[in-house]
Amino acid sequence: MHLLVDENTAVQLLAPLRYVLPQHQVDHVTEVKWSGKKDVQLLVDAARKGYDALPTRDGRRLEDPDETDAIKKAGIHHIRYSQKEGGIGGLALAIGAIIAAMPFVVRELDAADCQRLVHIRGLSPVPGQRFESQDPRQKPPRYWR
């Protein structure tokens, strides 16, 4: 799987993410020189370049009809997470949640027969509490056209 980590995600996540996903390619938007690219164009370009998934801190994309439509058209998996706490502590919690969830998320995405929308909820030993995945054909978000 080829993952493009969004610009709003700390680059400190890259080393541990690459460590827990050694069979997968993990790039950051800044590494591919796409900093500042608007979300809709980023999704189009990511799909065109063969990326399979976009991990992002931008949880509000699914509330915007244009961005939701761009996610759907791009056909890539959308992996979002929240960082509820600020500062270094919040960053540590977010990175911990992502690192704990991603091997399981990627395993599910590798087996998926279509695009998935994933929300990493937080740290938990129970997979159903660690992340949520849905088939947008069965349970579409509000603006999924």
DSSP H or E run through 138: none
Give the Cα separation of 84 and 100 in Å (integer): 17
Apex CA 76: angle with CA 142 and CA 59, to 5°?
A: 45
- Give the start-to-end residue ranges of the domains of the chain: 2-134
Strand pairing class (53-56; 25-28): unpaired
- The first and second tokens of residue 87, run together, are 């500062």
Strand pairing class (77-81; 131-134): unpaired
Nearest Cα neighbor of 122 from 67, 59, 39, 77 is 59
Which DSSP string corresponds to 25-92?
EEEETTTTT-TT--HHHHHHHHHHTT--EEEES-GGGGGSHHHHHHHHHH--EEEEE---S-HHHHHH
pLDDT in tens, the chain (145 residues): 999 999 988 899 999 999 999 999 999 999 999 999 998 999 999 999 999 999 998 767 788 899 999 999 999 999 999 877 778 877 888 889 999 999 999 999 999 999 999 999 865 445 566 578 889 999 898 888 7
pLDDT tens-digit map of 57-83 = 876 778 889 999 999 999 999 999 987
pTM: 0.82
**Does residue 1 contact residue 53 with C-beta atoms inside 8 Å?**
yes
2-134: CATH architecture: 3-Layer(aba) Sandwich (3.40)
